[in-house]
Amino acid sequence: MTESSAIAPTSRKRAAHDDTPSAPPTRRVASTRAAARHVGMAEITLRKLRVSGQGPQYIKLSSRMIGYLYEDLDAWLSSRPRCKSTSEHKADIRLAAPHRPSAA
């Protein structure tokens, strides 16, 4: 068998430097439950933070559905103070007080 009659491989892997366009990165959306699990807190705490404006950015998916981008959750976590002990700072998170109807 000569070199010219050798069978060429039918499948070739693309080179890492190939300039073909790739698909844009996907932006994953988490439900409130999944977002709470991702940041390590109770779902109700995340909801209270959202109502008070102290939580991570969210997306209103429909009139009854809220979503969180994982990149926003990670950015919010990165923005939170990192401490070595509880005595380093006073807790700066004040959750929204429960609504109490006024006595009329």
Query: Could you tell me the pTM of the whole model?
Result: 0.58
Task: Quote the tokens at residue 31.
Answer: 């439900």
Q: What is the pLDDT of residue 7?
A: 55
Please compute, for residue 1, the number of CA atoms within 13 A of its CA located in the half-sphere on the CB side. Answer: 4
Considering the chain, what is the average pLDDT of its residues? 77
Q: What is the pLDDT of residue 49?
A: 95
Q: What is the pLDDT of residue 70?
A: 94
CA angle 99, 100, 104 (to 5 degrees): 140
Render pLDDT for 32-75 as a digit per residue (tens, 0 to 9): 999 999 999 999 999 999 999 999 999 999 999 999 999 999 99
Q: What is the pLDDT of residue 84?
A: 80
